Structure 1
Amino acid sequence: MTDLGVAVVVEDDADVRNLVEAVLRQSGFEVHSASEGREGVEVVRRREATVVTLDVGLPDIDGYEVLRRIRQFSDAYIVMLTARTDELDTLTALHTGADDFLTKPFRPRELRARVAAMMRRPRHEGQRAASPDVAQPAGTPAAADSGLHHNGLALNPDTRSVTVDGDLVALTRSEFELLHALLLGAGAVKSKVELVRVVRGEYYRADAYISESDERAVEVHMGNLRRKLREDPAQPRWLQTVRGVGYRLAPVCS
């Protein structure tokens, strides 16, 4: 196995499969592939994949069902590939647990950049309990022990861990980055455009075009984040929506 680990390509189009295999192999992965969904699930399980590229339109079961099955046993980074430009495809992929998506045809360097950005932001690794809250002025999270603390929530960027009232919360890379950005903002409003760049990482430069679909993807990530935190949108402890703009950190609870 290489230093980067194993990549699995689940794609029924031989030309696309060969292209993706070449990109990932050149990036430093040990690459395996499958042309059908059920086979892809087993290859991911058997090879303990680090990264998976997954076509939406497969001949036996669709990519969303493959994604759901993989998520039952793996936290591999998953990039969905689709030939359709329908926004619903993107939102369905993110709701189901994908980390990113690309529309065919795509540039090889774009796929390489997306995968590299994910690998630079690893999944949470720590299992340590959070420290008690430290009193701070309204709207400002406390920084202690390399972590951020706010209203019973603790985020440690070194271990990539998040806890709520001492209980560990499992987040995707995108959810973690969004929460981290809002905590660092200490109550400042973050626009959806800013948060798209947080999710996309270095690939989205300041002059890069950001579509409505990108902004909707942020909304989906925020919805998933609220669900995992068991946030009450009517009385938020952490995440406030600023209508027409974006999101900000809720004030410190009294």
Structure 2
Amino acid sequence: MAERLLIIDDDARLAAMVSDYLTAAGFIVDRRFTGREGLAALERMAFDAVILDVMLPDIDGFEVCRTIRARAQTPILMLTARGEETDRIVGLEIGADDYLPKPFSPRELQARVRAILRRGRAPAEDAPLRFGRLQIDRSSRMVRVDGEEKTLTSFQFDLLAALADNAGRVLNRERLMDLVKGVEFDAFDRSIDVHISRIRAAIEDDPKHPRRIITVRGAGYVFARKQDDEK
């Protein structure tokens, strides 16, 4: 069954070009030109992913992203004409799964869309990963701490799972990108740092002094197999 995408972008010419390209690639594509129209479409219909422009005529794209993320875990790819690092960080912090600066090639856009869709439907594993109070369940793509469900984007879930799969091993940013992305792209080092920060906020008792995901200065990150208070 073809996957359904929603493009929210007020640039009618660009949206039409992207829509035609993705439709030819086998997707079903809907277009909306304002934030309110996009949110209304999401209320009426289920989409497999959203392509969201930052610059919209009514509601700021960041606010649209926040609203979507508060309602669902639909993968979100944000587009930014400015391409500034600050915009990228803000988008990732509020729940976007990936970003793409304009101008971009339709081929790269398609690759990134397929990557976030692939993460969203990752195959289930037999048993959840358990680390003390932390449980990572691939079959339901849920993360729980003391039984309480924690909200992560699909990218953040896969990043946490990659770290947990390699517990005790230091992984640099490039290796983490390789494990999670599965698609070649222009590396943006700070994006990993932002996602790690969001994961820590979800699973650590004190995100400013993490005990599960540890920074190894100059080397990367390591997932601790056990915390001091775990047997």
The TM-score, its normalising length taken from structure 2, stands at 0.89
Q: 1:226 aligns with which of 200, 203, 217?
A: 200
Q: 1:202 aligns with which of 159, 173, 182?
A: 182
Distance 1:61 1:234 in 2: 32
**Corresponding residue for residue 215 of structure 2:** 241
Stretch moving more, 159-168 or 59-68: 159-168
Contact 1:125–1:161 (CA under 8 A) maintained in structure 2: no
**Corresponding residue for residue 63 of structure 1:** 61
Q: 1:162 aligns with which of 140, 143, 158?
A: 143
Q: Percent identity?
A: 40
Give unmatched runs, 5+ long, in structure 2: none
1:244 CA drift (Å): 2.1
Contact 1:12–1:34 (CA under 8 A) maintained in structure 2: yes
Tell me whether 1:178 sits opposite 2:194 in the alignment: no
**Corresponding residue for residue 190 of structure 1:** 171
For residue 183 of structure 2, what is the amino acid of its counterpart? Y
Q: Which of structures 1 and 2 has the bigger CA Rg?
A: 1
Distance 1:35 1:157 in 2: 35
Q: Which residues of 2 match residues 47-126 of structure 1 at below 5 A?
A: 47-122=45-120
Contact 1:151–1:237 (CA under 8 A) maintained in structure 2: no
SS in 1 for 2:71: coil
State the number of aligned residues: 228
**Corresponding residue for residue 150 of structure 1:** 131
Contact 1:124–1:161 (CA under 8 A) maintained in structure 2: no
**Corresponding residue for residue 18 of structure 1:** 16
1:225 CA drift (Å): 0.5
Instruction: Kindly provide the CA deviation profile for residues 128-187 of structure 1, in whole angstroms up to 9, marking residues without a partner as x.
Output: xxxxxxxxxxxxxxxx95232212212232332222222222321111111111111121
Distance 2:132 2:83 in 1: 40
Distance 2:22 2:92 in 1: 22
1:32 CA drift (Å): 1.3
Distance 1:119 1:30 in 2: 14
**Corresponding residue for residue 189 of structure 2:** 215
Shift in alpha-carbon separation, 1:244–1:106, aligned structure 2, 3 A: same
SS in 2 for 1:203: coil
Instruction: Kindly provide the CA deviation profile for residues 86-120 of structure 1, in whole angstroms up to 9, marking residues without a partner as x.
Output: 10010011111111110111111111111111122
1:238 CA drift (Å): 1.5
For residue 89 of structure 2, what is the amino acid of its counterpart? L
Give unmatched runs, 5+ long, in structure 1: 127-143
1:251 CA drift (Å): 4.2
Distance 2:126 2:139 in 1: 10
Shift in alpha-carbon separation, 1:104–1:209, aligned structure 2, 3 A: closer
SS in 1 for 2:6: strand
Stretch moving more, 69-78 or 178-187: 69-78
Distance 1:86 1:153 in 2: 35
SS in 2 for 1:121: helix
The TM-score, its normalising length taken from structure 1, stands at 0.81
1:40 CA drift (Å): 1.5
1:223 CA drift (Å): 0.5
1:124 CA drift (Å): 8.7
Aligned-pair Cα RMSD in Å: 2.3
1:67 CA drift (Å): 1.2
Distance 1:166 1:62 in 2: 35
